[in-house]
A and B are shown apart, each in its own frame.
Chain A
Amino acid sequence: MAPKKKEEPKPVEAPKPEPERPKTPVFDSASVKLEFTPEQIEDFKDAFQLFDRTPANEMKITYAQCGDLTRALGQNPTNKEIMYVLGKPKPEEMQTKMLNFDEFLPMHQHFCKGKDSGTYEDFVEGLRVFDKEGNGTVMGAELRHVLSVMGEKLKEDEVEQLMQNQEDANGCINYEAFVKHIMAS
Chain B
Amino acid sequence: MGCGVSKSNLFQKSDSKGSVVSAVTSIKAAVLIQHWYRQYVARMELKRRYTWHIFQSLEYSGEQAQIKLYNFLGYLMDNFTPSSNERNLISHFFRENEVCRDSEWERFFDYKNIDVPEIYSGPHLTFPLTLEQGSGLVDAFRNKRQLHSRYVLQLLLDTWRLLRKFPNISRVSTCQSKEITICGDLHGQLEDLLLIFYKNGMPSHERPYVFNGDFVDRGDNSIEVLLILFSFLLLYPNDVHLNRGNHEDHIVNLRYGFTKEVLTKYKMHGKRILKLLQKIFSWLPLATVIDQKVLVLHGGISDTTDLSVLARVDRHKYVSALRPPKKRHPSTANVSVDYEEEVWSSGRRRSSVALPRPLTRGTFQNTSLPDFSDRVRPPVGGAAERRGRLALQGALLGGSQQALGAAAGTGPSQDSGESSDHSEDEWKQILDLLWSDPMTQDGCVPNEVRGGGCYWGPDVTDDFLSRHNMTLIIRSHECKQEGYEFCHNRKVLTLFSASNYYDVASNRGAYVKLGPDLVPYLIQYQASSKTRELTVRQRVGQTEHSALRVLRKQLFSHKSDLISAFQDLDKENTGLVSLKDWAEAVEGVMHLGLPWRMLRSQLISRRASDGAVDYRQWFTELAIQEPNMEHIEKGLLEMLYRHRSTLETIFRIVDTDNSGVINMEDFRQTWKLLSIYLKMEFTEEAISDLAVAIDTNGDGCIDIQEFMEAFRLSDKKSRLERGRSMFMGTAHDLQRPETVDPDL
Contact = CB atoms under 8 A, between A and B. Distances in A.
A2 B616 CA distance: 68
A24 interface: no
Interface string A146-168: 11011111100010011011000
Contacts of A42: 580, 597
Contacts of B533: 165
A151 to B, nearest CB: 4
Given A43-B598, A53-B439, A132 B13 contact: yes
Interface in B388-439: 390, 439
A145 B536 CA distance: 22
B25 A129 contact: yes
Nearest to B52: A50
B439 A54 contact: yes
A27 interface: no
A59 B387 CA distance: 11
B22 interface: yes
Of the listed residues B27, B33, B439, B455, the one surrounded by the most CB atoms of chain A closer than 10 A to its CB is: B33
Contact of B34 (A130, A154, A161): A154
Which of B1, B13, B29, B40 lies at the interface centre, i.e. has the most chain A CB atoms within 10 A of its CB?
B29
B5 to A, nearest CB: 6
A131 to B, nearest CB: 9
B26 A117 contact: no
B29 A130 contact: yes
Interface in A51-91: 51, 53-59, 62, 67-72, 74-76, 78
A49 B45 contact: no
B40 A185 contact: yes
Interface string A104-126: 00000000000001100011011
A50 B32 CA distance: 27
Nearest to A122: B32
Given A49-B595, A53-B439, A59-B383, A130 B580 contact: no
A151 B42 contact: no
B383 A76 contact: no
Interface string A2-28: 000000000000000000000000000
A147 to B, nearest CB: 6
A89 B41 CA distance: 23
B402 to A, nearest CB: 22
Contacts of B449: 55
The contact size tier of chain A is 35 or more
Interface string B603-631: 00000000100000000000000000000
Contacts of A94: none
B38 to A, nearest CB: 6
B579 interface: yes
Given A46-B595, A68-B45, A71-B38, A39 B579 contact: yes
Given A39-B611, A129-B26, A152-B35, A72 B45 contact: yes
Contact of B10 (A70, A145, A185): A145
Given A39-B579, A68-B45, A55 B441 contact: yes
Contacts of A103: none
A110 B580 CA distance: 26
Contacts of A164: 535-536
Consensus secondary structure, chain A interface: helix
B445 A72 contact: no
Task: Choose among A58, A59, A151, A182 the residue with the greatest number of B CB atoms under 10 Å from its CB.
Answer: A151
B42 A182 contact: no
B34 A152 contact: yes
B171 interface: no
A142 interface: yes
Interface in B35-69: 35-46, 49-50, 53
A154 B37 contact: yes
A47 interface: yes
Given A43-B597, A72-B42, A158-B41, A123 B386 contact: no
A71 B39 contact: yes
A35 B27 CA distance: 33
Contacts of B386: 49, 57
Contacts of A99: none
Contacts of A51: 49
A162 to B, nearest CB: 5
A150 B30 contact: yes
B596 to A, nearest CB: 8
A108 to B, nearest CB: 13
Given A42-B597, A54-B441, A56-B445, A69 B10 contact: no
Given A68-B42, A129-B22, A57 B597 contact: no
A95 B27 CA distance: 30
Contact of B28 (A43, A55, A126): A126
B537 interface: yes
Contacts of A46: 595-598
B440 interface: yes
Nearest to A38: B580
A172 interface: no
Given A54-B440, A55-B439, A72-B45, A123 B36 contact: yes
Contacts of A146: 10, 26, 29-30
A50 B13 contact: no
A129 B46 CA distance: 32
Contacts of A75: 39
B31 interface: yes
A183 B40 CA distance: 8
When A and B form their complex, which 3 residue pairs have the shortest distance between CB atoms, in order from nearest? A126-B29, A71-B42, A151-B31
Given A123-B36, A126-B32, 15 more contacts: A46-B598, A49-B386, A54-B441, A58-B383, A68-B42, A71-B43, A74-B39, A76-B36, A76-B39, A117-B35, A117-B36, A129-B25, A129-B26, A142-B10, A153-B1
20 contacts: A47-B598, A49-B595, A50-B53, A50-B595, A53-B439, A54-B439, A55-B455, A56-B445, A58-B383, A67-B42, A71-B38, A71-B42, A95-B440, A118-B35, A126-B29, A146-B29, A150-B27, A150-B31, A152-B35, A162-B37
